[in-house]
Amino acid sequence: MNVKPATRSETMIVAASRALKNDDVCFVGIGAPSAACNLARLTHAPDIVLIYESGTIGTRPNVLPLSIGDGELCDTALTTVPVPEMFSYWLQGGRISIGFLGGAQIDRYANLNTTVIGPYDAPKVRLPGGGGAPEIGAHCKQTFITMALNRRTFVDQLPFITSFGHGRGGDHRRSLGLTTAGPTRVITDMCILEPEAESKELTVTALYEGVTRDDVTRECGWPVRFADTLATLPAPSEQELRVLRDLQERTRIAHGAVAA
């Protein structure tokens, strides 16, 4: 039986999962990051160690968690430690190779906003806040960000910086004493962006099949740059789509309308 073609969201999740390696220790965010990390675990990276903010270490969920407090995480974890221990020993101790984050908005230097849309004192929308994301962005050896590309989310200037990426660019991150690499890859539903070596401005390095430069330019909130040589990422394989869709269907059955 032929598998239906991938949606843009599925393509993004598959591309994000492919960025992970079998020996990674990954601090996982809820949503698309969680789907990508568990897809990697169920396909090419069976030994990846997944850590969630609630203190679950080495968790292997059968369905995607609704939140960091979902019992599925604790039930399937190798161990669960107190949150202060997880942050101080695992995260600040430099034991996590990849932090996987999402956000409401991002700017050209991969700073994230999950706090407010509009002025802080009188916002149009008040968002959930940072949680552990600022610490994840500061202390993981590197950070991957997964977000759909559109002008509402990829903005020229953030109203509030919740999670520090590369600040104003250049050596701003290191000048503040941050020794980790910060965001090294932004995975969207149209392309992949990476910080340019010197300026740290996000630059498109790969397009998905069927996506053009004009498509990306139209959806980005700043004049986006493109690498001199652009890669074209292969479409998701039938196996990747089957595994992802099976995972999402199990989640739908387990959580019903809430998961949808």
Q: What angle do CA 103, 105, 109 make, to 5 degrees?
A: 100
Average pLDDT over the chain reads 95
User: In a 3-state reduction of DSSP, which class is residue 72?
Assistant: helix
Where do the domains of the chain lie, and which CATH numbers do they carry?
8-258 (3.40.1080.10)
Give tens-digit pLDDT for 228-253. Answer: 999 999 999 999 999 999 999 999 99
Bridge partners for 50 per DSSP = 26
Residue 257 confidence (pLDDT) above 90: no
What value does the CA radius of gyration of the chain take, rounded to a whole number of Å?
Answer: 18
Catalytic positions, please?
A: 53
Give the C-alpha separation, 225 to 169, whole Å: 14
pTM of the model: 0.93
Q: What are φ and ψ of residue 57, in 5° steps?
A: -110, 130
Among candidate residues 209, 204, 205, the one with its CA nearest the CA of residue 224: 204
Give tens-digit pLDDT for 72-126. Answer: 999 999 999 999 999 999 999 999 999 999 999 999 999 999 999 999 999 999 9
Query: Tell me, what's the pLDDT at 256?
Result: 78
* CA 42 from centroid of its chain's CA atoms: 18
